[in-house]
Structure 1
């Protein structure tokens, strides 16, 4: 690959590798397209404009990328996440956290419903046990009465 001669050409290379349209770059940095066309492409980029580009694309501030951008030495590290990528990752994390929160809320609601169901079943069991105990007491009373009647009838 031919060595890219100017910072502006390296910026275009960066934009191309990131899939960023030039129009987007001009809007995000507030720069005029005329600074990057014809003879303007070969002219130096002012420090204030470079600072603005580094602010908009902080991945270019990374040590190896900054050296590459300013001097042309080394290579562009394309594995770094752009500001937009970081925002998308942040949104994905927020969506994941929101889904996780919804899932936990749903599980909690199910737990509460099951807990209430278990409490109801336990109260029903207690009520049935009381009725059972009362029935056994009545049955024992009837059996004792029958036994006493049988004893008196035998005498």
Structure 2
């Protein structure tokens, strides 16, 4: 697989089109399709800056994994935190609903007590 093919693989992985990728790194929209053999150092620097999770060694040589392990773990951690935050929010919402129901039941009990003691 060539550098160009690996770059296209990464772009598909990220779910952005080639044009969007090119705009993001500050090159012409035809940059990827016009690539020949490799990348110039300034283009590599721009890609690293915009897509720090990309393993540049993989991009240039095909060795290792496409995504740097530290970034993959960070992404997993962020997903886990997001799920936990959703669970906390859901739990807090349920607590709030239960507190409101409890207050309403107390009012109803008080009302019943007043009616039976008249």
TM-score tier after normalising by the smaller chain length: 0.5 to 0.7
Deviations 1:37-64 (A, max 9, x none): 33x43242324x333323332321xxxx
CA distance in 1, matches of 2:36, 2:100: 63
Match of residue 59 from structure 1: 53
Q: Any stretches of 5+ residues in structure 2 without a counterpart?
A: none
Match of residue 107 from structure 1: 98
Which has the larger helix fraction?
1
Q: Any stretches of 5+ residues in structure 1 without a counterpart?
A: 129-155
Match of residue 41 from structure 1: 36
What is the aligned-residue RMSD (CA, Å)?
Answer: 3.7
Match of residue 59 from structure 2: 69
* CA radius of gyration, larger in: 1
Calculate the TM-score normalised by the size of structure 2.
Answer: 0.61
